[in-house]
Amino acid sequence: MITAAQIRAARALIGIDQRTLAEASGLSLPTIQRMEASNGQVRGHVDSLTRVVDALERAGVVLINENATSTAGGRGVRLKQVEGAMP
């Protein structure tokens, strides 16, 4: 669904800190911190993940799934899959 790196990158793009994301999503700051500390895909309650995604999308973030095409305009960041690269 969403990775910890996507959450961190999304926050950086819109210039908000973890506390602001927590408030916007209705979750606690420790919950956001745990999500961002995850390796790879964020694990958690589906409701919590949905709240984070919704909050980021309301702020203007477009999350791009792996192998998906981004057709919308605007700035963004996408990581290229490289074998042997750091996770």
Which domains are delineated in the chain?
1-80 (1.10.260.40)
Average pLDDT for consecutive 10-residue bins of the chain (87 residues)?
Answer: 88 95 97 91 88 93 76 66 60
d(CA 22, CA 7): 12
DSSP state of 61: -
- Residue 79: its pLDDT value, please? 63
Query: Collapsing DSSP states into helix, strand and coil, what is residue 41?
Result: strand
Q: Is 3 helix (H, G, I), strand (E, B) or coil?
A: strand
Q: pTM value? A: 0.80
Which tokens in the block code for residue 58?
Answer: 């309301």
Cα distances from 30 to residues 34, 63, 75, in angstroms, run 6, 23, 29
